[in-house]
Structure 1
Amino acid sequence: MVILGFGLYRGVNSNVYLSAYAFVKAPFMFVPDLFFNVVVACSIIVCSAVAVTLAWTGRLKANTMPYVLPTALLLAGNLAALLGVILSLPPDLALLVPGLLYGAGSVMLSLFWIEVLSASRPSSIVVQIALGMLLNVVVSSVLSPLPGDVQMRSSCVLLLVSGLCAWFVRRRLRAASCEVETHNERPIAETVSAEPAEALSSKTSLRARWGAYRDAFLELGDSLVAFFVLEAVIGLLNSFMLAGSIDFEGSGAVSAAAIVGAIVVFCFIVFVAHRIPKVSTVSRVVMPVLAAMLVFLPFLSERYNLVFSMLLLGSYYFVALLITYLIAEAAQTRKVSPYVLMGVAMGVARVCLAVALLSGYAAGVAGGGPGDEAEHTMRYLVIIVVVLYALCMALVFFSRDRKRRRAEEASADAPNESAVGTDSVSVPEIDSTLDACCASVAREGGLTEREAEILVYLARGRTKAYIADALFVTENTVRSHVRNIYSKLDVHTRQELLDLLER
């Protein structure tokens, strides 16, 4: 039900956005209409800010994000387009009203589904995202070639099915939450892993909550920066092209091909490679290529523009998929509200997009007219310089972040080198004895289920990279759990941990 509901929602949402409620026959790459996009961006920014504020202050608790209201808003937009209500409005209102409906509805449903995903284990989260996005491709591919009225009718039906899936999933999540509250005295090894997000706000101080969110955003930092940079780059280039009346055949198909390519690569990594790459690594590979291709963009053919646009959009959608997984994983492992993490990510991304759209459009229309070839090329080159600067700054950030983390790993592992040779002596040889010993220490130290699981790997001498691959999480997440384990058990080195397990 999670895969079906999530996939149908994303498919319908993507089709509605790229076609601006079927008013744009061939969407121009990423931006269907400048005014419509600015309205949607502002709506998403406001709704995300409200959701983050309510969740941060504890007024928006776990499993309370509405799904009926946003589904009704999206249905209202589709029905208004189908019945011709939008066409009867003045031109500005004809894009303002559906843009507001789309923005508000998509924010609430996105927060609803990210909470659903975060209720699963990381290995299940990545599979749900991959299969859900495959369904998204199927739905978008089926809807996009249909006539406008058929698109809207089909979208209404699929939204209703997605709403029914959301109702079923919400019931299941609430039942699981009640089960956790009823059995909260059971041993760690027997409890389910989903602790209600509101427990963090009720049992800890504001300072502790701030620390938990700070650590979560630090873990997501380089990934979010890459996402924001790509969002701004896409907004700049597309708005400048629209302002300069630049167009080429196949621009509508570029977006669909980029989405398909990103999802295929994501599924290959998930189901074949069985690991999640770091966004910083992806960005260090892709951004220099994009920067090099940008230099020649004004002078080469439309086919070259197609290749560049496909690579740019494919990189964006691939990073967006990784961001979705990382946010759900961080919320699940750190027991923080996914509303805050996803709300901040969506809000800041749309701020970057709105600023880029308006800046690019202003630069595109400033100076000479659209027919002035020299003026147009010079303005294009100015935009390229700005984009290259953004890409270079992102690369500098990733390089500094990588060096800092390597230094931290070296300083953290240095005191433990002497413990490597004693692992075979300290750790019990029988697995059952080791598991029982770790479970006992975990109960006494108040470790969570995930921390207790990692404790067993640490006792066996496994590295952080090995644990990350085994549990299908990032090394940053493992590193954070290890710090929590050391803090709760009042140990500082691997040797002290092994000595504690021997007692």
Structure 2
Amino acid sequence: MKRLLTNMRNVALRDALCFGGYALYLVFSYMAFHSFTLFAPASALDAVSQTLFLATVLGSRVCVFVAIAFFSLRSTGPDTLVSVLVACGVALFGFLVCGMALQFSIDVEFGRILPWLMFGGVCLGAGDALMVLLWARFCKTFTLRSVYLFVLLSNMASLVIYFLMTLLPPALVIPATAVLFVISSVCVKRSISIRVPAVSEYSLPVAKSAASRLWRPVFGTMVFCFMSGMMMQISGQQELPLSTVQETSIVSSGIVVAILLVPVLVVSKPPNLSRLYKMALPLSAAGFLLLPILWNAAGGIVNAFAQLGSMVASIILWCMLADMARDTRLPSPLVFAAALACTNAAQLLGVLVGFFNASSITSGGIMLTVIALVSLYLLSMLSLFLFKDKGLALEEPATPAPQLVVREEQWFSARCEEIASTHQLTAREQEIFVLLAQGRTVHGISEKLYVSENTVKSHIKSIYQKLGIHLRSELLELVNHVDDEFDQQAKQIR
């Protein structure tokens, strides 16, 4: 707790309020997509309509994430202000369409309103995707410990605000949720401008290395999201009052977030995300284990367990993505959009599978027991290989390289700069190239630049490819070999 208070003293109150905009974004997400509180004004809205709305939201998210991941390979993307304005404009139009559709659902045949409600879901999904990537850009500027603490505190604050929002009259739900989204967009613009901009550069070997290190947690989160989406359709949640679902969700989520906060408050070292990730396994397993027994009893606790497993996995994955983007300097839209496209697609698949099979599943039926047993088996298999890291092997043994005898510091700097410019090395690659030429080891470079050894190795592979070499000794020969023209330039420098 003392460490938490120390960290909070180092943050200005105005900055802390801006950072709190992420909590408001989470409240918007809860209201619109998780508990369907957005539909409170139309209490007669059936489960089929809610499912179709959620499917359009998820489909819209996936399309936006895929498009942004693709274009981030070729462009740095629009200015933050432009992104915020686009996200706000699209989302507010979605709020307007949904609000009008729900208002007219009282007097008009609902079949004529449903297409408009789904169109509003497309707009809200697109605005949500843009906003989450803006917050991802902000989170990239933090260290792993800081982003973990930030995300958990934001989740805790969002649950409190979400509880207050549930007390609003139904007619004010949509306007209040729209206001939260707008305030969050203002906060993210301010938050990004407060932080030191994170440098981004794309390198194919680095991107491949990041993908090889992230695919396991991304795949694991996809499984949790699939099961969460499916459980929402088959657990009988729609048969429960909205207030009951909200209360169960708030209490259970608050307990889990508090448990996740304990390690970062007690231990000064960066959190062990692999161990924390494994919390999601028993939570989801408990949901499916209790499914044939409780169905929708105890306030929908069965569905809550499955949702909690997905929540824990998503929080940990978010921190991993932020740390990876910061460590490798890859563009945050690329890292986050690629991963979130996969997890949202998995959730969409789970929703559709559960939706088309929900009619054949009844309380006490054999089908329900089969689903529970198969899901438990999948979770147990998932736990066997989820975090088996494999090191990235270089073509060169990890032995200290021979030290380069530098003739003169100015000469050495000029020579390295010439090679980096000729072979179009990125800024990070040039840093590592100079350190390699000085004879530093991978471990030494990692400690000096405060990045992981895997990231250093992937940059070295990219450097070797651009220089057309395979060994450290060839790099040293390249630096030492100069032609007459460069010698004359070096003399002018001296």
Task: State the TM-score, normalized to the length of structure 1.
Answer: 0.69
Instruction: Give distance in 1, aligned partners of 2:44 and 2:278.
Output: 30
Query: Does structure 2 conserve the Cα–Cα contact (< 8 Å) formed by 1:81 and 1:87?
Result: no
RMSD: 4.7
Instruction: For 1:25-424, list aligned pairs within 5 A.
Output: 33-58=50-75, 60=77, 63=80, 66-80=83-97, 85=103, 87=105, 91=110, 92-93=114-115, 95-169=117-191, 171=193, 194-197=198-201, 200=202, 208-209=203-204, 211-242=205-236, 250-273=244-267, 274-279=269-274, 281-284=275-278, 286-287=280-281, 290-291=284-285, 294-300=288-294, 306-366=300-360, 377-398=365-386, 401-402=388-389, 405=390, 408=391
Query: Does structure 1 conserve the Cα–Cα contact (< 8 Å) formed by 2:98 and 2:117?
Result: no
Query: Does structure 2 conserve the Cα–Cα contact (< 8 Å) formed by 1:45 and 1:347?
Result: yes
Partner of 1:9: 25
SS of the equivalent of 1:275 reads: coil
Instruction: Give distance in 2, aligned partners of 1:12 and 1:247.
Output: 20
Instruction: Give distance in 1, aligned partners of 2:120 and 2:86.
Output: 15
Structure 1 unpaired stretches of 5+: 178-193, 201-207, 420-425, 427-438, 498-503
Deviation at residue 31 of structure 1 after TM alignment: 11
Query: Does structure 2 conserve the Cα–Cα contact (< 8 Å) formed by 1:65 and 1:111?
Result: no
Instruction: Give distance in 2, aligned partners of 1:47 and 1:482.
Output: 32
1:295-337 CA deviation, whole Å, 9 max, x = no partner? 4531358667855444432232122111112112211221212
Change (3 A) 1:364 1:309: closer
> Which stretch of the first structure deviates more once superposed, 324-333 or 1-10?
1-10
Partner of 1:22: 38
SS of the equivalent of 1:129 reads: helix
Instruction: Give distance in 2, aligned partners of 1:314 and 1:75.
Output: 29
1:16-61 CA deviation, whole Å, 9 max, x = no partner? 2235363148999x99921221111111122222222222232735
Change (3 A) 1:449 1:392: same
How much identity, in percent, do the aligned residues show? 15
Report the AA paired with residue 48 of structure 1: F
Instruction: Give distance in 2, aligned partners of 1:122 and 1:63.
Output: 23
Instruction: Give distance in 2, aligned partners of 1:163 and 1:331.
Output: 22
Deviation at residue 239 of structure 1 after TM alignment: 1.0
SS of the equivalent of 2:52 reads: helix
2:454 is equivalent to residue 479 of structure 1:
yes
Instruction: Give distance in 2, aligned partners of 1:67 and 1:461.
Output: 40
Deviation at residue 212 of structure 1 after TM alignment: 2.4
Structure 2 unpaired stretches of 5+: 1-14, 404-412, 477-494
Instruction: Give distance in 2, aligned partners of 1:451 and 1:127.
Output: 30
Change (3 A) 1:54 1:65: farther
Query: Does structure 2 conserve the Cα–Cα contact (< 8 Å) formed by 1:65 and 1:108?
Result: no
Partner of 1:500: none
Deviation at residue 243 of structure 1 after TM alignment: 9.3
Deviation at residue 65 of structure 1 after TM alignment: 6.2
Instruction: Give distance in 2, aligned partners of 1:150 and 1:76.
Output: 17
1:77-120 CA deviation, whole Å, 9 max, x = no partner? 44455566563765313531331121011001111111122134
Change (3 A) 1:461 1:449: closer
Deviation at residue 238 of structure 1 after TM alignment: 1.9
Change (3 A) 1:153 1:283: closer
SS of the equivalent of 2:376 reads: helix
Change (3 A) 1:291 1:22: closer
> Which stretch of the first structure deviates more once superposed, 482-491 or 318-327?
482-491
Partner of 1:187: none
Number of aligned positions between the proteins: 430
Report the AA paired with residue 107 of structure 1: A
Instruction: Give distance in 2, aligned partners of 1:450 and 1:222.
Output: 30
Work out which of the two has the higher radius of gyration on C-alpha atoms and give 1 or 2: 2
Instruction: Give distance in 2, aligned partners of 1:461 and 1:333.
Output: 15
Instruction: Give distance in 2, aligned partners of 1:483 and 1:351.
Output: 29
SS of the equivalent of 1:56 reads: coil
Partner of 2:406: none
Instruction: Give distance in 1, aligned partners of 2:227 and 2:215.
Output: 18
Query: Does structure 2 conserve the Cα–Cα contact (< 8 Å) formed by 1:231 and 1:349?
Result: yes
Query: Does structure 2 conserve the Cα–Cα contact (< 8 Å) formed by 1:86 and 1:94?
Result: no
Deviation at residue 15 of structure 1 after TM alignment: 1.9
SS of the equivalent of 2:340 reads: helix
Partner of 1:180: none
Instruction: Give distance in 2, aligned partners of 1:491 and 1:278.
Output: 34
SS of the equivalent of 2:224 reads: helix
Report the AA paired with residue 87 of structure 1: S
1:65-84 CA deviation, whole Å, 9 max, x = no partner? 61112223333344455566
Task: State the TM-score, normalized to the length of structure 2.
Answer: 0.70
Instruction: Give distance in 1, aligned partners of 2:383 and 2:265.
Output: 29
Report the AA paired with residue 344 of structure 2: R
